[in-house]
Amino acid sequence: MSSEKRVLLADIGGTNARFALADTQAPSPLLDDSVRGFAVADFPSLADAAAHYLKEIADEDAADKSRDIEVRNGVFAVAGRVDGDEARITNHPWVISLSRTRDALGFDGLRLVNDFAAQAMALPWLGRDDVVSIGIPEWAPEHRPQHCTYGVIGPGTGLGVGGLIIRDGHTFPLETEGGHVSFAPGTPQEIDVLKQLSAQFGRVSIERLICGPGLVNVHRALCEIAGEDPGNLQPADVTARAAMGDVRSANAIDVFCAVFGAVTGDLVLTLGAWDGVFLTGGLVPKLLTSLQHSGFRQRFEHKGRFSATMGRIPTLAIVHPRPGLLGAAAIAVESYPG
């Protein structure tokens, strides 16, 4: 029987918890056949969800007498700010203690990182087939420079924002809470949407518009401006109605994509992400066609005296199915190389 050391990976959002194992000695460290997903609402804590996953994996491997998998370390990427030993999931009640979670699982080591640090660390591992260009120019991953700066932004249950600095081949992820900066409207219609959302929320952050619940907020605001009551909808209801030709829902997606483009361009200017910005999160694959045929790229480039510069910067939708776990695996390679 062979003993195989593995690192437990987790990508924790406001809705889903995804787990996998990493082999830090392998050329492709993320073990795709080990990926499992659960609803965070089904567990009282991250430690409970992780223990449930480990039990499932152990039960499956019990039938294989040829190997013995040992898991003593972990890398957990969480959708919230990591402050020392503690992290709070922004859109879920979990409060995570690194030390208590490590002890509950009996681990020797545990890294707790922001989910967009993991998303950023995935970027060097992405190939041409893992991304789709939104507009031009194209991206050539085989010609990545040794000195570059990327942005990464993604709408899911909330809006994550981060970046990756690469200097002499060394990677430095940037953890931010950029989704909570203030929303700046760019058209008269967006000003009207802001007025509606301000009446409901007071201060309006970008995340109030650019995420799953944000799409619903935009749709409701447009309906209220028109004197209509849309009822209680989910994001999938808005996209389904748009596909069936509903004008208000289609308009909501247009506004969503345009604001998303403007915000993404602002990230490039703020971070100096001149080498490209990557779009990730649960909504991007679902809205890929809309993003490609919307005002996203026009609003991304529309930055006054920097418009010509912005026109040369690629915007790339990540279509890899598990970029958060891929990035967590990259962190595991650095943290637990042996």
15 marked as part of a ligand binding site: yes
The rounded distance, in Å, linking the Cα atoms of 317 and 284 is 7
DSSP conformation class of 313: S
Burial (CB < 10 A; 0-12, 13-18, 19+), residue 97, is middle
The amino acid at residue 229 is D
- Token pair, residue 319, equals 């279509």
Distance, C-alpha 170 to centroid of its chain:
22
103 marked as part of a ligand binding site: no
The answer, yes or no, to whether the previous bond of 185 is cis (omega within 30 of 0) is no
Query: What are the E-state strand segments in 169-242?
Result: 170-175
Cβ contact 46:71 at 8 Å: no
Distances in whole angstroms, Cα of residue 132 to Cα of each of 98, 128, 140, 168, 238? 36, 8, 12, 27, 24
Distance, C-alpha 167 to centroid of its chain:
23
Strands 109-114 and 131-133: unpaired
The amino acid at residue 220 is R
**Nearest CA to 211 among 176, 164, 250, 263?**
263
Radius of gyration from C-alpha coordinates of the chain: 21
| CA triple 270-272-277, angle to 5 deg | 95
266 marked as part of a ligand binding site: no
The rounded distance, in Å, linking the Cα atoms of 7 and 131 is 26
281 marked as part of a ligand binding site: no
List, as residue ranges, the binding site: 10-15
Q: Which residue ranges are tagged as binding site for ATP?
A: 10-15
